[in-house]
Amino acid sequence: MLDLKFVRENPDLVKENIKKKFQDAKLPLVDEVISFDKKIRALKGEVESLRARRNQDSQKIGQLMRNKEVEAANALKAEMQDVNKRIGEIDVELEELEKKLKHNMMVIPNIIDPSVPIGKDDSCNVELERFLEPKTPNFEVPYHLDIIEKLGGIDLDSARRVAGNGFYYLMGDIARLHSAVLAYARDFMINKGFTYVIPPYMIRGNVVDGVMSFAEMDAMMYKIEGEDLYLIGTSEHSMIGKFNGQILNKADLPYTYTSYSPCFRKEKGAHGIEERGIYRIHQFEKQEMIVVCEPEDSMDWFKKMYSYTVELFVSMGVPCRTLECCSGDLADLKVKSIDVEAWSPRQQKYFEVGSCSNLGDAQARRLGIRIKGENGNYFAHTLNNTVVAPPRMLIALLENHLHEDGSVDIPEVLQPYMGGTKKIMPKK
């Protein structure tokens, strides 16, 4: 959410930013905000004057009554009733206007960084850098589900009977590999100086409003029936919510956390949820990293964070690349975002396995996360990044370390988490 004063003083800049994000339908919201703001300030001025008059008249009525000027006191009381009525009307009008103003402010997108490439959708995203040479095996790489099934590592049919499409049972060596990736990613980030956290897997509605846009919430979040609780779609939600309404000491910054959680997503409107496989599912586990820092430090942390993900993938022998998201592919709260994509030998192309985002002060402004400064408090900056999400990571890992006989090499860094196992063999 933007600063109201900024919108008031820079409406053309805010509109230009909306155009850069190809969201022209939101342009009228800016003029509405300015109109609502003007009316609100006028009404607040009026109600302050009326309340001042009411206080003065109350003193006059007391004086008149003491002087036994009852008729004049009653006349003033009658005027006071009109004043009270008008104050009540203004309070109702203010409540409605402030509600509309807040809604618009929550929908107007954040100002993107000047370095963000302009484009309508993800087809306009820009490749930045590649790491490790992409592999092209001299045999046909099977679909990832076929690889996993040959290794005896998945049961989709039972999951459909139990929960429906978009769920799975991971089994045996594949389940162990899944856990090994998460454990390695955890220790990898701890070694980078991040504090390991296991957060709540449910959050309240006000935290949901604080960490994501309305469109994202509708497409992603599962609500608990009869409760003001939502299942998290990523641990970023509860990790940023941890600072809700807090005033932070400068000396304690930055906060650098790596958090584990299961993630639950409706994937509303997403293609592929009915397909075989584990690329797009309703439930998965993820190791995340989040940073809460000084505004001037956020871009430095942004670069560090996605570089850590790249380093992690390279350490597991998985070729990858970084891709900068264009303006039209940025979620509304984001200032800048970099996707990390892994190489798929089967598809002979890269696919998304993580995303690093700088949200500026958007989440902090919504949740009231401030830093205590010498000349007044100011909003912190928040960032998040996927360390690893094993379902997609498994696809990249299996395809890039697959042999023609169906066996899969375990990267050296993961072997200690697999009890020393160096290779997974197909089941007879």
Give yes or no: residues 167 and 278 share one domain: yes
Q: Is the model's pLDDT at 269 over the cut of 70?
A: no
Residue 383 domain flag: yes
Contact 389, 301 (CB under 8 A): no
pLDDT bin (cut points 50, 70, 90) of residue 24 is very high
Q: Find, among 66, 186, 138, the residue nearest to 345 by Cα.
A: 138
**Per-residue confidence (pLDDT) for residue 275, from 0 to 100:** 58
- What are residue 115's phi and psi, to 5 degrees? -80, -10
**CA gap 53, 241 in Å, rounded:** 43
DSSP 268: T
Angle between helices 27-66 and 70-107 (to 10 degrees): 160
pLDDT bin (cut points 50, 70, 90) of residue 58 is confident
Q: pTM of the entire structure? A: 0.90
Length of the chain: 428
Q: CA torsion angle for 91, 92, 93, 98 (degrees, to 10)?
A: 80
Give yes or no: residues 93 and 132 share one domain: no
Give yes or no: residues 100 and 191 share one domain: no
Residue 117 domain flag: no
Total domains in the chain come to 2
**CA gap 96, 173 in Å, rounded:** 58
**Per-residue confidence (pLDDT) for residue 130, from 0 to 100:** 98
Angle between helices 298-315 and 172-190 (to 10 degrees): 140
Chosen domain end from 107, 137, 166:
107
386 SS3 class: strand
Residue 309 domain flag: yes
CATH assignment of the domain containing 16: 1.10.287.40
Give yes or no: residues 181 and 56 share one domain: no
**Segment among 47-56, 181-190, 264-273 with least mean pLDDT:** 264-273
Contact 264, 231 (CB under 8 A): yes
Give yes or no: residues 97 and 144 share one domain: no
Angle between helices 27-66 and 11-20 (to 10 degrees): 140
Give yes or no: residues 86 and 134 share one domain: no
Give yes or no: residues 338 and 311 share one domain: yes
Q: Is the model's pLDDT at 79 over the cut of 90?
A: no
Q: What is the pLDDT of residues 291-345, one digit of tens each?
A: 999 999 999 999 999 999 999 999 999 999 999 999 999 999 999 999 999 999 9
Q: Is the model's pLDDT at 257 over the cut of 60?
A: yes
> What kind and span of H or E run contains 205?
helix 205-211
Chosen domain end from 107, 139, 171:
107
Q: Which domain holds residue 43?
A: 4-107
Chosen domain end from 107, 138, 171:
107
Give yes or no: residues 251 and 395 share one domain: yes
The identity of residue 187, as a single letter, is: D
Give yes or no: residues 78 and 131 share one domain: no
Q: Which residue has the tokens 């022209």?
A: 24
Give yes or no: residues 130 and 96 share one domain: no
Q: What DSSP line would sit under 31-96, residue for residue?
A: HHHHHHHHHHHHHHHHHHHHHHHHHHHHHHHHHHHHTT-HHHHHHHHHHHHHHHHHHHHHHHHHHH
Residue 112 domain flag: no
**Per-residue confidence (pLDDT) for residue 70, from 0 to 100:** 82
**Segment among 60-69, 128-137, 383-392 with least mean pLDDT:** 60-69
Q: Find, among 130, 184, 187, 127, the residue nearest to 310 by Cα.
A: 130
Give yes or no: residues 138 and 265 share one domain: yes
164 or 379, higher pLDDT: 379
DSSP 321: E
Give CA 361 to chain center in angstroms: 12
**Segment among 19-33, 210-224, 228-242 with least mean pLDDT:** 210-224
Residue 116 domain flag: no
Contact 112, 16 (CB under 8 A): no
260 SS3 class: strand
Residue 398 domain flag: yes
Give yes or no: residues 67 and 210 share one domain: no
CATH assignment of the domain containing 234: 3.30.930.10
Residue 339 domain flag: yes
Residue 115 domain flag: no
The identity of residue 234, as a single letter, is: T
The pair of structure tokens assigned to 163 is 């929960």
**CA gap 369, 377 in Å, rounded:** 10
